Amino acid sequence: MAESPRIAIYPGSFDPITNGHIDIMVRALTMFDRVIVAIAENVRKAPLFSVAERRDQILDAVGKSNASRVEVDAFEGLLVDYVHKRGARIVVRGLRALADFEYEFQLAHMNRRLGKNVDTIFLMTSEKDFYVSSSLVKEVAQFGGKVTGLVPSSVEAALYDRLGRKNEDRVASPEDSTVSDVGRQRKGEQAEGTRRRRDRVRRR
Ligand code: PNS
């Protein structure tokens, strides 16, 4: 009798997907036959990107070589119900620093308590990603900092687009040699807008 495929559900807000998420997804693919990236629709946070946008960003990041083994889906309601519905029992989550542990510990135990035989496995994030989170990336982009290398380039562009900043207005990171004067000037003009956007992000 043929074995059924090993399926992992990789849930999250993915608002937006980061290179840390991609790393976890790719590593999960070495352990499972299929990975279902599941965008949670009803999390408490007000998202910056719609589910459709996040789905496209994730599909883009998956790449052709993994496309046949990755599905991107969205779910509402309890994660355990979704996992059960998809005929899976393993949830994959990335674990960054100590700060993640308590939250993830609660989540995993609550999911176990809810029944349906769902178990969570944790993959430690790679060293290069251990401090990267979607919310930090949004905050950095919001204030004009560079997020190059932390998210796929298409997501980087979408972030600046959504947050109303042009790439040339970004504050340079230490490795940049110059900051454009136009950028500096515009930053002054945009200060009011930035303050408004900052307030919006803080409310998230
Ligand atoms: O990327 P995030 O925001 O840390 O992901 C959290 C997520 C979406 C995995 C979690 O909030 C979740 O599972 N939400 C679905 C609703 C649910 O099942 N809540 C109870 C889990 S204890």
Catalytic residues: 21, 45, 96, 134
Give me the number of domains the chain comprises: 2
| Residue 111 CA, closest ligand 1 atom number | 22
CATH code for position 67: 3.40.50.620
Which of 39, 51, 78 to probe ligand 1 with, by most ligand atoms within 8 A of CB? 78
Which of 107, 112, 114 to probe ligand 1 with, by most ligand atoms within 8 A of CB? 107
List the domain range (segments joined by +) for residue 123: 7-130
- Cα 45 off chain centre by: 13
Single residue among 76, 105, 130 that ends a domain in this structure: 130
**pLDDT value at residue 43:** 73
Single residue among 112, 130, 148 that ends a domain in this structure: 130
Q: Are 125 and 200 in a shared domain? A: no
Neighbours of 182 (CB within 10 A): 11
Q: Are 23 and 105 in a shared domain? A: yes
| Residue 149 in domain | no
Q: Are 86 and 178 in a shared domain? A: no
**Per-residue model confidence as pLDDT tens digits over 96-153:** 988 889 999 999 999 999 988 999 999 999 888 888 999 999 999 999 899 999 999 9
Single residue among 130, 145, 163 that ends a domain in this structure: 130
**Per-residue model confidence as pLDDT tens digits over 148-196:** 999 999 999 999 999 976 554 555 444 443 333 333 333 433 444 444 4
Q: What is the Cα–Cα distance from 43 to 162, expressed in whole angstroms?
A: 20
Q: Are 18 and 69 in a shared domain? A: yes
Q: Are 124 and 184 in a shared domain? A: no
Q: What residue type is 15 in one-letter code?
A: D
Q: What is the Cα–Cα distance from 85 to 79, expressed in whole angstroms?
A: 10
| Residue 136 in domain | no
| Residue 124 in domain | yes
pTM, 2 dp: 0.82
**pLDDT value at residue 169:** 52
- Cα 132 off chain centre by: 9
| Residue 68 in domain | yes
